[in-house]
Amino acid sequence: GQNIDQPTEMTATEGAIVQINCTYQTSGFNGLFWYQQHAGEAPTFLSYNVLDGLEEKGRFSSFLSRSKGYSYLLLKELQMKDSASYLCAAMDSNYQLIWGAGTKLIIKP
Amino acid sequence: GAVVSQHPSWVICKSGTSVKIECRSLDFQATTMFWYRQFPKQSLMLMATSNEGSKATYEQGVEKDKFLINHASLTLSTLTVTSAHPEDSSFYICSAPQGETDTQYFGPGTRLTVL
């Protein structure tokens, strides 16, 4: 079956760095997406990876290893506004998105 | 990025009534749109895929006669919750894929409360 695993909750300190991991198993693969969702709001797109390696976008970076079925989202210089849920989603061979349950990130001062 | 709007943002209705939610892609065309439902502190659940000019594809367990989907044009999909009951109260969110990577862009969501 198709599956996405990511931690339920993580806590980090303002100004620090945090890495949110995601492992996936899909029928075929057409890319890995990360979204941010603040409480009570809709998800917003953060990043897309389809090739192995690191994609950097400001304070956020996303990494993919296709052979390991693994991705991570790296957040640097954490700010209080980064407190949110981070959703990992993998696109299968039918271009369907398989969603993880999300990782709730709590930032402490 | 692509912009998707939803209307209304929130709605309160009486049990037994029907509620229509609109999803529009504002700066791009979408032959496909997705409808999700999210209960408090739970993950996104895909309800159905809306297809322009043809029938929607519903996920297992979603009643097609209760959640009517119409994709009337390349920029508009509607979800009608018929004969709503309190258990239908939820956050309904649409998305539309855009670009070569089919990245899904989400509308702001509609919070439905059925009394």
Which residues from B are below 8 Å from A100, CB to CB?
43
pLDDT at position A27: 94
Whose tokens are 């809306």? That residue is: B50
| Separation of CA A71 from chain center | 7
pLDDT tens for residues B18-55? 999 999 999 999 999 999 999 988 889 999 999 998 99
Distance from CA of B88 to the nearest CA of A (A): 17
Residue B33 near residue B95 (C-beta atoms within 8 A): yes
CB contact under 8 A, A100 and B105: no
Task: Note the pLDDT tens digit of each residue in B67-88.
Answer: 999 998 999 999 999 999 999 9
pLDDT at B72: 87
Could you tell me the sign of the dihedral formed by the alpha carbons of B7, A40, A43, B67, in that order?
negative
Rounded Cα gap, residues A53 and B81, in angstroms: 43
- pLDDT tier for residue B1 given thresholds of 50, 70 and 90: low
One digit per residue, the tens of pLDDT, for chain A of length 109 reads 889 999 999 999 999 999 999 999 999 999 999 999 999 999 999 999 999 999 999 999 999 999 999 999 999 999 999 999 999 999 999 889 999 999 999 999 9
Query: Are the C-beta atoms of residues B36 and B55 closer than 8 Å to each other?
Result: no
- Mutate which of A97, A104, A106 to disrupt the B interface (most B C-beta within 10 Å)? A97
What are the chain B neighbours of A35 within 8 Å (beta carbons)?
106
Q: How far is B41 from chain A (nearest CA, A)?
A: 9
Classify the C-alpha dihedral A91-A93-A95-A101 as positive or negative.
negative
Identify whether the C-beta of residue B16 lies closer than 8 Å to the C-beta of residue B86: no
- Residue to test with chain A: of B33, B43, B49, B93, most A Cβ within 10 A: B43
- Which pLDDT score, from 0 to 100, does residue B63 have? 95
Record: contact B106-A95, CB cut-off 8 A: no
Tokens (6 digits) for A18: 């945090």
